Amino acid sequence: MTQYGYRVFAVSLHENRKFEPQQFGKAKRPILTDDGKPTSGSYETDYRDVVVTDVEAAAGRALTFGISEEDDDETGAAQAKGMAIRFVGAKRSGDLVEFRFEQGVRNADGTLLIEGAEDIDLKDKPTLHPYRALLLAGDAHTRALLAVEARGRSCPVDAVIRGLKNSSGVQWRLQVLGHLASEAAMNEFIRNATVGRVVFDRYTYAGDGEKSPRHDVSMSVTAEGVDVKSEVSNWAESFFERLKRQSDPDPELPTFDSNGNKFTKKQLAAARKQIRAERKAANASAEKARREAAQTTSEAAAAGLKQDIFVSRDEVVDVDFTDVAVELDDGVIKKRITPKTDFGRFTYVIGRGRVSDEAFFSSAEKTLRGLIGAVQSLNLKR
């Protein structure tokens, strides 16, 4: 039976292509002239009200997109040539917005069989399934939380994000900052799970300067008598410690030149372009350092677990492994965890069948309220 639950994402709010995040309850829009040109003045609008109006206006209309890297559907490329979403409705209650929608793939081929009726050609037609989502955002928050229903491995967060943008009259857009799980939820899973097998791997580089590593050795073993879960808990603890570190504040956009003269629109555009370039270079440098540190951690973890497991055995394993994975199963969820695992990527399981709206929204709300305060300062540049 399919596993049902939800995944949690941190999101920020932006007006069209602008990179400055807006406050969800106090988003600013420029006041326009009669011919539609922006003035220097602005007014505040509450995105939580705006998005409900947008969804209600788009309800019943199918929106189609291409397949993106974020799509996590169990349908293979041979069956799908895109995806589609159709909003059913939205409702605001205080700082919460509930969404109901249908989502699925746009078929490249296939036939629908209906007993007693003619076959229906599925080519270019979407097949949709019901989903729900919940947004939690405070008035002054520039980061909100979005819980999106998951069916097995399928969680259509990208369809929700793109569907909301395409439904917006001014193209308000949500940007996914990170996939989040609470530290308590992950620790509880590790604590309740049983260890299956420990898998050691070695990746090497060819002597001819090949850039991609070659997977040349793999070994799977049991680990009876060894406290493997403590090591996995240490990996999770290190991940969440990095996540808790304060992120660097976004650089302030300069508005005056060195002589004290106010920037023109052209100068402001150039300043924004420079900030984007500097941020991109800094992020690339940080990502390279993160990957190198993660590889060092993986090699150390593989060496340590190999020593722990084989210290009392007769076998001699003379291989310097570069990676290790531990298979965990709590009876509901099976996960293969490594030192480089994104522990924030977690499905909160509700049941083995579709649950009621009340059960979904109440469970998701409880999770989001437990995370909303901390997410405002988490380091999500990972």
Return the pLDDT at 108: 60
pLDDT at 93: 97
Question: Residue 297 burial (CB < 10 Å; 0-12/13-18/19+)?
Answer: middle
3-state secondary structure of 296: helix
CA gap 12, 137 in Å, rounded: 10
| Helical (H) or strand (E) element with 81 | strand 80-93
Q: How far is CA 234 from the centre of its chain?
A: 23
Range 126-130, long-range pairs (CB < 8 A, 24+ positions): 126/62, 126/64, 126/83, 126/84, 128/62, 128/84, 128/85, 128/86, 128/102, 128/103, 128/104, 129/102, 129/103, 129/104, 130/88, 130/100, 130/101, 130/102, 130/354
Decide: residue 37, CB within 10 A, 0-12 exposed, 13-18 middle, 19+ buried. exposed
Domain extent listing, the chain: 4-181+344-375, 187-329
**Separation of alpha carbons 317 and 288, rounded Å:** 31
Nearest-angstrom CA–CA distance, 300 and 297: 5
DSSP 204-239: E--TT--SS-EEEEEEEE--TTS-HHHHHHHHHHHH
Report the Cα–Cα distance between both ends of the chain, in Å, rounded: 34
Residues of the chain whose pLDDT is less than 70?
Answer: 1, 36, 67-81, 106-112, 119, 121-126, 206-212, 245-255, 257-258, 381-382
Whole-angstrom distance, CA of residue 146 vs CA of residue 375: 12
- Work out the number of other CB atoms within 10 angstroms of the CB of residue 252: 7
Identify the pLDDT of residue 147: 97
Q: In this predicted structure, what is the pLDDT of residue 72? A: 45
Residue the block writes with tokens 């340590």: 304
pLDDT at 343: 86
Measure the CA angle with vertex 332, ends 330 and 334; round to 5°: 65
User: What pLDDT score was predicted for residue 74?
Assistant: 44
Instruction: For tokens 């999500």, name the residue.
Output: 380
In the three-class reduction of DSSP (H, G, I as helix; E, B as strand; rest coil), residue 246 is classed as coil
- The string of pLDDT tens digits covering residues 9-65 is 999 999 988 888 999 999 998 887 777 677 777 789 999 999 999 999 999 998 888
Cα 214 from Cα 201, distance rounded (Å): 11
99, 160 in Cβ contact below 8 A? yes
Q: Looking at residue 23, what is its pLDDT?
A: 96
As a whole number of angstroms, the distance between CA 323 and CA 300 comes to: 9
Q: Name the CA dihedral angle for 329, 330, 335, 341, rounded to a multiple of 10 degrees.
A: -120
Interatomic CA distance for residues 15 and 29, integer angstroms: 8
